[in-house]
Amino acid sequence: MGKILIIDDDVQVCETIESLIARTGHESVSAYNLRDGLSKVQATDFDLVFLDISLPDGNGLDYLQQVKDSSGNPEVIILTGKGDADGAELAIQGGAWDFLVKPSSVKQMTLSMRRALEFHIEKQNKAQCVALNLDNIVGKSTEIKGCYDLVAHASGSDANVLVNGETGTGKELFAQTIHENSKRSGNNFVVVDCASLTETLVESTLFGHKRGSFTGAQADRKGLIPLADKGTLFLDEVGEMPLAVQKSFLRVLQERTYRPVGENREFKSDFRLIAATNRDLEAMVARGEFRQDLLYRIQTIHIYLPPLREREGDIRELTSYHLTRLSAQYGVPPKVASSDFYEVLENYDWPGNVRQLFNIVEQAFVASGSGNTIYAMHLSDNLRIKLAKYNLKKSGNISLEDVQPEPVRESVSEKKDSLGLNQNSVFENAVSEILTEELPPLKIFKGMAEKKYLEELLLRHEGETATILKISGLSRSHFYALLKKHGIND
């Protein structure tokens, strides 16, 4: 018997769904606002949650991830009183099981509920049967834990995977983890650096060649694709692959066959494909820089790795893990980090993500010499200066402009300059507006800040959609969905 929660401010809707649930032999409880619903979902393990979008105390979509991450990890069916294609997109991107428009037919609601519960039971059974080896992946934040389910899903299948994320977020590590947890773990994990592939050498690099097939081919050479037979082929930075190479590779991906240079017959390679990129491939497709048919092929499963600045609480765990690893590497007694050391790390935005964090920690580790404790003094001057300015700003002795570690790179157009806009003051004022005497909940603050950011984007780059998408890192559809969510007219 499943446990189901209904979060909807319409009492009649709740009673209708409760009656439907009772007839199907499951147990249900209702909440008529977000506060009560979130309280219930934290106190009880639910298998399924019906979540309304328009609630008296907030937008249900803003709390979708929080509901999904509660202790029961329930499936979520979003309810809305009107057809909203962009809302549906945001819901599905957020991991909702289904998106239903009220009033939905009894048949449709029953079918969606039954399938969601079946999926939830199957997912729980798989989790109990399969123990993932995550030895090299560190983090317990909600953001990174959301990726673990996708890793488990990818590890249990042979589907093509696309890992997307900023530079330094650990895309290759996640790809290797999927390989090591898959049935192909006993075979090769072959890395292809797509940025280094040239049209003249791509066939020889990927497919191999026979001796004498071209000038300089003094011996037979096995390509990367045959090396990946029965294993995994990892395309690193697939967004850098030239268009001509994309065309050559598409057929290999479809047929799993290749022909070495100088050979007159084709061979098969049973490889599993994982690709990674830090670029927006959908935007590249729109610009004609990436083949749409290839994108469809490589992203059967899509994993987005959050940047370190969004992984709340993971910096200490990552630092501790790396210090332990460095002690073993250098053959010295374990070192610990002081509180002031962590204070610096946690007040930095880490544009280079985990890779940059590990480099900074190693520099401090070496600088600490034979000492057993690493202090902020062992960090670079740049980070220490940032911390000093941050502390002065908190005490009110320095303005927000002085806290910025480096000048703003994006210049504002002459038109915007004439309005007297300053990037730092704009966001200082925006934050001041939001942080009134009575602080809002963090979720609500994030939503308000998101709206302010979008409004500022439109003000600075009105009509320049390509520039807006490039700066924000959003896909076109996601950008317009966010505008609609916040009621902003572009």
Contact indicator for 209, 192 with CB cutoff of 8 Å: no
Give SS3 for 138.
Answer: coil
Residue 443 has what pLDDT? 65
| Span 104-123, average pLDDT | 86
Q: What angle do CA 278, 184, 190 make, to 5 degrees?
A: 45
Query: What is 45-61 written as a DSSP string?
Result: --SEEEEESEETTEEGG
| Span 182-189, average pLDDT | 94
Same fold, 3-128 and 310-394: no
Residues 466-477: tens digit of each pLDDT:
788 888 888 776
- For residues 432 and 213, the model is more confident at 213
pTM for this model (two decimals): 0.62
Give the span between the Cα atoms of 350 and 339, in whole angstroms: 19
Give the span between the Cα atoms of 181 and 159, in whole angstroms: 14
Residue 24 has what pLDDT? 86
* Longest Cα–Cα distance in the chain: 79
- For residues 436 and 256, the model is more confident at 256
Give the span between the Cα atoms of 13 and 170, in whole angstroms: 45
Topology (CATH level 3) of domain 3-128: Rossmann fold (3.40.50)
| Span 443-453, average pLDDT | 76
- For residues 80 and 171, the model is more confident at 171
Locate 222 and state its tokens.
Answer: 């096995």
Locate 223 and state its tokens.
Answer: 């390509």
Length of the chain, please? Answer: 490
Residue 308 has what pLDDT? 94
Return the amino acid letter for 414. Answer: E
| Cβ within 8 Å of residue 336, ≥6 positions away | 323, 372, 373, 374
Residue 51 has what pLDDT? 92
Secondary structure string (H, E, C) spanning 110-138:
HHHHHHHHHHHHHHHHHHHHCCCCCCCCC
CATH value of 310-394 in 1.10.3720.10, 1.10.10.60, 1.10.760.10, 1.10.8.60: 1.10.8.60
pLDDT at 459 over 70: yes
Residue 125 has what pLDDT? 64
**Highest mean pLDDT (candidates 86-100, 303-317, 438-452):** 303-317
The lowest-confidence range among 219-228, 290-299, 373-382, 391-400 is 391-400
Residue 228 has what pLDDT? 94
Locate 76 and state its tokens.
Answer: 């979520």
Q: Measure Cα distances from 24 to 19, 117, 175 in Å.
A: 9, 12, 41
| Span 324-351, average pLDDT | 90
H helix count then E strand count, the chain: 22, 18
| Span 264-290, average pLDDT | 93
Residue 338 has what pLDDT? 93
| Span 7-16, average pLDDT | 90
User: Could you name the CATH architecture of 142-306?
Assistant: 3-Layer(aba) Sandwich (3.40)
DSSP 332: -
Residue 221 has what pLDDT? 82
pLDDT at 7 over 90: yes
The domain locations on the chain are 3-128, 142-306, 310-394, 410-485
| Span 22-28, average pLDDT | 88
Residue 76 has what pLDDT? 93
- The per-residue pLDDT of the chain, averaged, comes to 82
pLDDT at 92 over 90: no
Q: By C-alpha distance, which of 362, 397, 396 is closest to 380? A: 362
- Adjacent-strand bridge partners of 10: none
Residue 337 has what pLDDT? 94
pLDDT at 10 over 80: yes
Residues 121-174: tens digit of each pLDDT:
877 765 544 567 888 899 988 888 888 888 988 998 899 999 999 999 999 999
Contact indicator for 235, 241 with CB cutoff of 8 Å: yes
| Span 318-325, average pLDDT | 94
- pLDDT tier for residue 328 given thresholds of 50, 70 and 90: very high
Contact indicator for 347, 390 with CB cutoff of 8 Å: yes
Residues 389-429: tens digit of each pLDDT:
766 665 555 554 454 444 333 333 333 333 334 444 445 55
pLDDT at 223 over 80: yes
Residue 378 has what pLDDT? 92
What percent helix, strand, coil does the chain show, rounded to 5? 50, 15, 35
Give SS3 for 30.
Answer: strand
Locate 248 and state its tokens.
Answer: 């050559």
Residue 478 has what pLDDT? 76
Bond from prior residue into 103 cis (ω within 30 degrees of 0): yes
Query: What is the Cα gyration radius of the chain?
Result: 26
pLDDT at 385 over 50: yes
| Span 234-245, average pLDDT | 90
pLDDT at 354 over 90: yes
How much of the chain exceeds pLDDT 90, in percent? 36
DSSP 238: G
The lowest-confidence range among 125-139, 199-213, 346-360 is 125-139
Backbone φ, ψ for residue 30 (5° rounding): -115, 150
DSSP 261: B
How much of the chain exceeds pLDDT 70, in percent? 83
pLDDT at 346 over 90: no
Give the span between the Cα atoms of 25 and 13, in whole angstroms: 19
Return the amino acid letter for 383. Answer: L
**Highest mean pLDDT (candidates 91-105, 163-177, 338-352, 380-394):** 163-177
